[in-house]
Amino acid sequence: MPFSADDLAAIGLTLRLAGLTTLLLLVLCTPLAWWLARTPSRWRGPVSAVVALPLVLPPTVIGFYLLLLMGPHGAVGRLMQSLGLATLPFTFGGLLVGSLVYSLPFAVQPLQRAFEAVGDRPLEVAALLGAGPLDRFFTVALPLARPGFLTAGVLSFAHTVGEFGVVLMLGGNIPGVTRVVSVQIYDHVEALEYVQAHWLAGTMVVFSFAVLLALHWLQPARERT
């Protein structure tokens, strides 16, 4: 069998992390992307810059500051301790928070572009027909932005699967709890277990290719030409 029990546990944990991250990002980022696409506020630029920070910051920097923030001496850590809750670092919950932050732009930016592509005309027509703001959003904007949701979902899932620096900083290397596929590959290489590393790394290569191919075919035909 090419995968050991630890490999399978890491794969299962990674898929669970990526699935939850994607679902939460699509829910949480939709109103933010809508605001960025429609607002004339002068805060649009700074907010867009903050959203895009994970694209340029090293993952270890993001992981380090999240570790400080959520640790026992950080603001979030102290708040959780005051509520009688455990701190998040080195738990699955900590990995989830780190993944949400790290993959944020991969959800927000496709959704923002999709909402911008909707334009004003369909919403104005819906308003003339008596549709309220919420009705226009759910019955006009969301259906028209469907390609953006598909792109955001695929990119967020794939990006979370490929995380290394953030998850290692926040979760460490706890089997069955925080050891994801990227960390498992690193462990195999450190132990000179190149055959096992090849199997996992090769699977990641095939997965990444499939994601890029899916993104190509999910785009409308006019965008592929």
**Within 10 Å of residue 154's Cβ, how many Cβ atoms?**
19
pLDDT > 50? residue 222: no
Verdict on whether the full-model pTM lies above 0.85: yes
Q: Which of 50-54, 83-87, 125-129 has the highest mean pLDDT?
A: 50-54
- Rounded to an integer, the average pLDDT of 75-103 is 92
Q: Which residues of 75-102 are buried (b: 16+ CB within 10 A; e: fewer)?
A: eebeebeeeeeebbbbbbbbbbbbbbbb
DSSP the chain: --S-HHHHHHHHHHHHHHHHHHHHHHHHHHHHHHHHHH---TTHHHHHHHHHHHHHS-HHHHHHHHHHHHSTTSHHHHHHHHTT---STTSHHHHHHHHHHHTHHHHHHHHHHHHHHH-SHHHHHHHHTT--HHHHIIIIIHHHTHHHHHHHHHHHHHHHHT--HHHHHHH---TTTT--HHHHHHHHHHTT-HHHHHHHHHHHHHHHHHHHHHHHHHS-HHHH-
- Rounded to an integer, the average pLDDT of 87-99 is 93
pLDDT > 60? residue 55: yes
Are 28 and 96 contacting, i.e. CB atoms less than 8 angstroms apart?
A: no
pLDDT in tens, 174-200: 888 899 999 999 999 999 999 999 999
Q: How far apart are CA 200 and CA 11, in angstroms?
A: 9
Residue 204's pLDDT band, with cuts at 50, 70 and 90, is confident
| Listed range (19-33, 126-140, 157-171, 183-197) with the worst mean pLDDT | 126-140
* Per-residue pLDDT at 21: 96
Average pLDDT value over all residues in the chain: 89
| Listed range (25-29, 90-94, 117-121) with the worst mean pLDDT | 117-121
- Rounded to an integer, the average pLDDT of 199-217 is 85
Residue 1's pLDDT band, with cuts at 50, 70 and 90, is low
**Within 10 Å of residue 35's Cβ, how many Cβ atoms?**
15
